[in-house]
């Protein structure tokens, strides 16, 4: 009886999600082009460049984090955006998360705009210029954090600074939640959620980093697509560990610890998780399919009936598209013997796993064990969280966010999206059913590929349009 009730509840939840996504029709709300008047593109680029030059590199090892650099960043932020800091209430949470409140003229639930100012390291990467130079060349701002995620922070603050200068008062409260440890899955966003919870505040909507305005991402679909994340995959870190007696490398043994570890890794490589078309991805296919040529349009129009076919098609369409339809496993670190002539007594592989919607940490671990099928390989869960809930796509909040995206990029199709990375916004899903992951920047494949890699950059024009998006959104809500 208990199992029947559980299955019934799961079916009801799936039906609710399908209905929410199926009602996704962003083109129903007419919009005009976004107004960029009064927003200073070159000034915004210069301010972003200054913030890039402050190397707020985060680390899981607290001893490796230079707290004075983060303090300098926060101080410079107040100097660069004086009107914002004069008009908004600002508090620091924990070691450096920032929470601003811009008081509205009503008591309606607030809008929360998120970003983070910590960045990943640059060690081992071959940059064509100093990664913290913040150089502005050929219409681009270069440096670590240009997109992820200081660019979003600057776009938000440019919009707020401009509106405050104009004497604008928002209808509802607007909160700015800026994290200092997103890249290491830290506590900044959790502290913000705890503050909201303690104060009895339920956000109307939350907007954080995630999807962007992209081209050529979907097979057979021309033009730009603004992908807005309704959910994000779960994150699981696992260690595979094998042990052996060791000894001198001049007399090796068969099936030693490294060999058994290698077989386990190859088993996972040869047996990837199955590709499945979740309802959110189905909604994305439906939205972009209306822009596709006739042949693809016929295929996409029958997406619900052709889930296995489309899942297989997306799985082969590229890394990003493939990651949306299956749980992915990446081997990120390998450890063995520390001496060239000594057999390993312990071999370790670190797996970074992104869990697809519909799966859980437990179901993922169970499958890993089945595929490896070797009791001598220990599987240790380091940390993990299930995929986020699916946010609504049938409400006013999503309609206004998609309208702002279309106003900023009139030729773009707006589509729901599953974010394959993890973000701070997953914590807000605990208290809000309208959490959206969208960076309002049009990014090329090369610019997307530079995230967490060498030569990260953002165009001055994209940063300018991003500020226009946030200003339009704040005015609309």
3-state class (DSSP) for residue 290: coil
Whether 276 has a pLDDT exceeding 60, the answer reads: yes
**Per-residue pLDDT, 305:** 79
CB 253 within 8 A of CB 409: no
Percentage, residues of the chain above pLDDT 70: 93
**Per-residue pLDDT, 27:** 52
Cα separations in angstroms, 95 against 70, 180, 266, 303: 9, 8, 42, 47
Q: Indicate the pLDDT class of residue 306, thresholds 50, 70 and 90.
A: confident
**Average pLDDT rounded to a whole number, residues 178-204:** 97
**Per-residue pLDDT, 1:** 35
Measured CA to CA, the distance from residue 184 to residue 396 in angstroms comes to 33
If you search the block for the tokens 């959110």, which residue do you land on? Answer: 280
- Take residue 150 and report the two structure tokens written for it: 């200081």
Whether 14 has a pLDDT exceeding 50, the answer reads: no
Cβ-based neighbour number of residue 176 at 10 Å: 21
Cα separations in angstroms, 452 against 42, 137, 153, 183, 250: 25, 20, 17, 10, 41
Higher pLDDT, 101 or 246: 101
**Per-residue pLDDT, 321:** 81
Whether 202 has a pLDDT exceeding 90, the answer reads: yes
CB 427 within 8 A of CB 317: no
Whether 463 has a pLDDT exceeding 90, the answer reads: yes
Query: What sections of 118-149 are H helices per DSSP?
Result: none
Please state the separation of Cα 415 from the chain's center in Å: 16
Q: Indicate the pLDDT class of residue 275, thresholds 50, 70 and 90.
A: very high
Q: Indicate the pLDDT class of residue 375, thresholds 50, 70 and 90.
A: very high
| No. of helices (H) and no. of strands (E), the chain | 16, 17
**Per-residue pLDDT, 134:** 97
Whether 297 has a pLDDT exceeding 80, the answer reads: no
14, containing H or E segment: helix 2-22
**Per-residue pLDDT, 16:** 46
Highest mean pLDDT among 232-241, 278-287, 415-424: 232-241
Q: Indicate the pLDDT class of residue 158, thresholds 50, 70 and 90.
A: very high
CB 327 within 8 A of CB 273: yes
**Per-residue pLDDT, 219:** 66
**Per-residue pLDDT, 320:** 79
3-state class (DSSP) for residue 260: helix
Domains of the chain plus CATH, in order, are: 17-231+388-476 (3.40.630.10), 234-269+331-386 (3.30.70.360)
**Average pLDDT rounded to a whole number, residues 176-181:** 98
**Average pLDDT rounded to a whole number, residues 192-198:** 98
**Per-residue pLDDT, 208:** 98
Reported pTM: 0.89
Mean pLDDT (the chain) is 91
Measured CA to CA, the distance from residue 214 to residue 297 in angstroms comes to 19
């Amino acid at each position: 009886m208990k199992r029947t009730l559980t299955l019934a509840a799961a079916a009801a939840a799936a039906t609710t999600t399908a209905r929410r996504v199926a009602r996704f029709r962003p083109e129903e709300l007419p919009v005009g082009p976004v107004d960029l008047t009064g927003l200073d593109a070159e000034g915004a680029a210069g301010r972003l460049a200054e913030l890039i030059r402050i190397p707020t590199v985060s680390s899981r090892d607290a001893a490796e984090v230079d707290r004075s650099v983060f303090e300098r960043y926060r101080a410079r932020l107040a100097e660069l955006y004086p009107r914002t800091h004069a008009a908004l209430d600002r508090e620091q949470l924990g070691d450096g998360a920032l929470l601003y409140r811009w008081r509205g003229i009503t008591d309606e639930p607030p809008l929360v705009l998120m970003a983070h100012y910590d960045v990943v390291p640059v060690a081992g990467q071959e940059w064509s210029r100093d990664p913290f130079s913040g150089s502005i060349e050929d219409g681009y701002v270069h440096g670590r954090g240009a997109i992820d995620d200081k660019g979003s922070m600057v776009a938000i603050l440019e919009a707020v600074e401009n509106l405050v200068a104009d004497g604008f008062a928002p209808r509802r409260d607007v909160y700015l939640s800026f994290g200092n440890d997103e890249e290491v899955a830290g506590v900044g966003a959790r502290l913000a959620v705890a503050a909201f919870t303690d104060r009895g505040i339920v956000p109307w909507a939350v907007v954080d980093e995630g999807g962007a305005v992209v081209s050529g991402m979907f097979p057979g679909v021309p033009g730009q697509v603004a992908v807005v994340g309704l959910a994000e995959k779960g994150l699981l870190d696992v260690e595979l560990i094998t042990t052996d007696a060791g000894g001198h490398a001049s007399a090796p043994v068969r099936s030693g610890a490294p060999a058994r570890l290698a077989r386990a890794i190859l088993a996972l490589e040869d047996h990837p998780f199955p590709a499945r078309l979740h309802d959110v991805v189905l909604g994305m296919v439906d939205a972009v399919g209306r822009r596709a040529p006739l042949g693809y349009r016929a295929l996409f129009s029958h997406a619900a009936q052709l889930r296995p076919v489309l899942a297989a098609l997306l799985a082969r369409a590229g890394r990003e598209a493939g990651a949306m339809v299956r749980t992915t496993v990446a081997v990120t670190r390998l450890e063995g013997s520390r001496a060239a002539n000594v057999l390993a007594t312990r071999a370790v592989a670190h797996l970074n796993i992104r869990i697809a919607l519909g799966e859980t940490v437990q179901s993922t671990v169970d499958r890993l064990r089945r595929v490896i099928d070797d009791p001598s390989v220990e599987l240790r869960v380091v940390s993990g969280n299930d995929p986020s809930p699916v946010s609504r796509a049938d409400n006013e909040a999503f309609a206004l966010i998609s309208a702002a995206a279309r106003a900023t990029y009139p030729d773009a199709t707006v589509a729901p999206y599953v974010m394959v990375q993890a973000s701070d916004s997953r914590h807000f899903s605990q208290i809000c059913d309208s959490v959206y992951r969208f960076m309002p920047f049009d990014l090329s494949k090369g610019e997307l590929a530079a995230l967490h890699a060498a030569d990260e950059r953002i165009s001055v024009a994209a940063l300018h349009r991003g500020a226009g998006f946030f200003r339009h959104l704040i005015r609309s809500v």
